[in-house]
Structure formats: C-alpha cells, structure tokens
C-alpha cells in the first residue's frame, strides 16, 4: 500500500483481540512512520496512544470524541464514522478532526448499514473538515464518486484483494489527483 502511494493507513481489526491488534499496530507503526504515512487505529484509543499513532477512528456506538481525545491527547486526530448527513453534522459539532461518510455502496465491512448512495456527497463536503467517503468503493466506481463531489476515499476490499496492491493504489491516486486538477 505504501509503495502504491496510499496517503493514510487505518488498522481495522474487528475480530482480533486488543492484544493482537496492539502487536500488529507496533510493527505497522514502524513501517508507516519510516514512510511518512499517517497511521489511524480503529476503535482503540489506548492502543493509539501507546504506539503514538497519528489518529484514532471511532464509530457511532463507540465513546464520544471528547472521551477519546481525553485518552489520546491533543496531538492525535480523532475521526468518526457517519452514515447520514445528520450524523456528519453532529460529528463536526462534536469536534471530529475528520469524518468517514458511508457506506456509499453495499459492503461486507458494514453489512447492517443501508448504503447512503451518491446524492449527499456534495452536501457533506460543505463541512469544513476532511471527509472520507467509504463503503463499496472500487476502482471501477471511483469516477462516479469523484463526479458526485468526493475529495477523499477509503478503499478496503478493492485494494486488499487486488492482484497488484501497489498498482491499484497508484491508479486510485491518479484518478483522485485528476479530480483535484479540475
């Protein structure tokens, strides 16, 4: 992923124990730090603090932004998953440093959530903080998401299942960079 130009890596390991996540996070932190790529830890602010991660990401049913920030401190970004424009606005007022918005399309990582689709992407980007569109995003549907107004995306299965992860990352980055030049 780093070779492919991924700008940020999030460690999300829902089925792993905190001990297993912590062990993986230590090794991953060393790689991301050396490469200058920010590392975000999903759901575990204590692990994020322990390894000096660049950020921690929480969901709607997790601790509040304020509680998480009290654990990780002021120099660690705190992001929040949102599944509607209303939730995104609330996360902004709660003090999130960035927002994950989706799932845009159906995805096995969020099987219990109804996809939000493309129509609110432009509206959510009116919030004055980074927005990462997520959920079912792949290289083949990325142009539609960019056309709908997305500036940043999080890609999971498309990237991890690609036969050439670095090449896939470069292709995604190329499409996103073209968008920023328009």
Residues annotated as catalytic (active site), given as ranges: 12, 81, 110
Quickly list DSSP for 60-119: TTS--HHHHHHHH-TTSEEEEEESSHHHHHHHHHHT-SEEEE--SS--TTSTTS----ST
Residue 46 three-state SS: helix
Give the end-to-end CA distance of the chain in Å, rounded to a whole number. Answer: 26
Q: Supply φ then ψ for residue 79, to 5 degrees.
A: -115, 160
């Amino acid at each position: 992923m780093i070779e492919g130009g991924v700008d940020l890596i999030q460690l999300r390991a829902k089925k792993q124990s905190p001990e297993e996540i912590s062990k993986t996070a230590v090794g991953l932190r060393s790689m991301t730090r050396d490469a200058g790529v920010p590392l975000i830890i999903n759901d575990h602010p204590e692990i994020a603090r322990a390894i000096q991660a660049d950020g921690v990401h929480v969901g709607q049913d997790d601790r509040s932004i304020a509680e998480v920030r009290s654990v990780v401190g002021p120099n660690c970004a705190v992001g929040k998953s949102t599944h509607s424009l209303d939730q995104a606005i609330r996360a902004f007022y709660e003090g999130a440093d960035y927002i994950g918005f989706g799932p845009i399309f159906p995805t096995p990582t969020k099987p219990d959530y109804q996809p939000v689709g493309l129509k609110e992407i432009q509206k959510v980007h009116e919030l004055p903080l980074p927005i990462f569109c997520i959920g079912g995003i792949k290289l083949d549907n990325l142009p539609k998401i960019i056309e709908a107004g997305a500036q940043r995306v999080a890609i999971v299965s498309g990237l991890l299942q690609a036969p050439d992860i670095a090449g896939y990352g470069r292709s995604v980055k190329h499409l996103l960079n073209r968008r920023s030049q328009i």
